[in-house]
Amino acid sequence: MPDQKITDLTLRRPDDWHLHLRDGAMLQAVLPETTRHFARAIIMPNLVPPVVTGDQARAYRDRILAARPEGSDFVPLMTLYLTEETDPDDVAAAHAAGLIAAVKLYPAGATTNSASGVQDFDKVRPVLDRMAEIGLPLCVHGEVTDSSIDIFDREATFIDRILKPMRKKNPDLRIVMEHVTTQDAVDYVRDTAKNLAATITTHHLIINRNHILAGGIKPHFYCLPVAKRETHRIALVQAAVSGDKRFFLGTDSAPHTDAGKLQACGCAGIFTAPNTMSCLAEVFEAAGALRQLEAFTSLNGPAFYRMAPNEGTIRLVKGDPVSYPAQIDTADGPVTVFDPGFPLHWRVT
Site string for Zn ion, 102-121 (x = CB under 5 A): ---------x----------
Question: What residue type is 126 in one-letter code?
Answer: P
Question: What residue type is 151 in one-letter code?
Answer: I
Applying CB under 5 A, among 155, 252, 282, 294 the residue interacting with Zn ion is: 252
Query: Residue 268 binds which entry of Zn ion, ligand NCD, none, with Cβ cut-offs from 5 to 8 Å by kind?
Result: ligand NCD
Closer to ligand NCD by Cβ: residue 254 or 295? 254
Query: Residue 223 binds which entry of Zn ion, ligand NCD, none, with Cβ cut-offs from 5 to 8 Å by kind?
Result: ligand NCD
Based on the residue annotation, tell me whether 187 is a catalytic residue of this protein.
no
Applying CB under 6 A, among 76, 269, 302, 340 the residue interacting with ligand NCD is: 269
The full length of the chain comes to 349
Q: Is 194 annotated in some ligand binding site? A: no
Please tell me the distance from the alpha carbon of residue 126 to that of residue 136, in angstroms, as a whole number. Answer: 13
**Considering the complex, what minimum distance in angstroms separates the CB of residue 271 from ligand NCD?**
9
Please give the size of the binding site for ligand NCD, defined by CB under 6 A.
Answer: 11
C-beta neighbour count of 191 within 10 angstroms? 8
Does 223 help bind ligand NCD (rule: CB under 6 A)? yes
Does 268 help bind ligand NCD (rule: CB under 6 A)? yes
Instruction: Please answer whether residues 195 and 171 qualify as being in contact, where contact means their C-beta atoms are separated by less than 8 angstroms.
Output: yes
Applying CB under 6 A, among 124, 176, 224, 227 the residue interacting with ligand NCD is: 224
Please tell me the distance from the alpha carbon of residue 188 to that of residue 182, in angstroms, as a whole number. Answer: 10
Closer to ligand NCD by Cβ: residue 15 or 252? 252
Please tell me the distance from the alpha carbon of residue 183 to that of residue 62, in angstroms, as a whole number. Answer: 39
- Tell me, what DSSP letter sits at residue 125? H
Question: Half-sphere exposure (CA, 13 Å, Cβ side) for 237?
Answer: 22
Q: How far is CA 321 from CA 21, 271, 274, 284, 348, in A?
A: 28, 20, 15, 17, 12
Does 20 help bind ligand NCD (rule: CB under 6 A)? yes
Please tell me the distance from the alpha carbon of residue 150 to that of residue 229, in angstroms, as a whole number. Answer: 14
Query: Residue 46 binds which entry of Zn ion, ligand NCD, none, with Cβ cut-offs from 5 to 8 Å by kind?
Result: ligand NCD
Q: Is 232 annotated in some ligand binding site? A: no
C-beta neighbour count of 151 within 10 angstroms? 12
Query: Residue 299 binds which entry of Zn ion, ligand NCD, none, with Cβ cut-offs from 5 to 8 Å by kind?
Result: none
Please tell me the distance from the alpha carbon of residue 118 to that of residue 143, in angstroms, as a whole number. Answer: 12
Among residues 252, 320, 332, 339, which one is catalytic? Answer: 252
- Footprint of ligand NCD on 140-199 (CB under 6 A): 141
| 88-96 and 54-67 helices, crossing angle to 10° | 40
Nearest to 314 by CA among 77, 38, 68, 42: 38
Applying CB under 6 A, among 86, 112, 192, 202 the residue interacting with ligand NCD is: 112
Q: Which residues bind Zn ion (CB under 5 A)?
A: 111, 141, 252
The residues binding ligand NCD (CB under 6 A) are 20, 46, 111-112, 141, 223-224, 252, 254, 268-269
Residue ranges of the annotated binding site are 18, 20-22, 46, 104, 141, 179, 224, 252, 256, 268
Per the annotation, where are the binding residues for Zn(2+)?
A: 18, 20, 104, 141, 179, 252
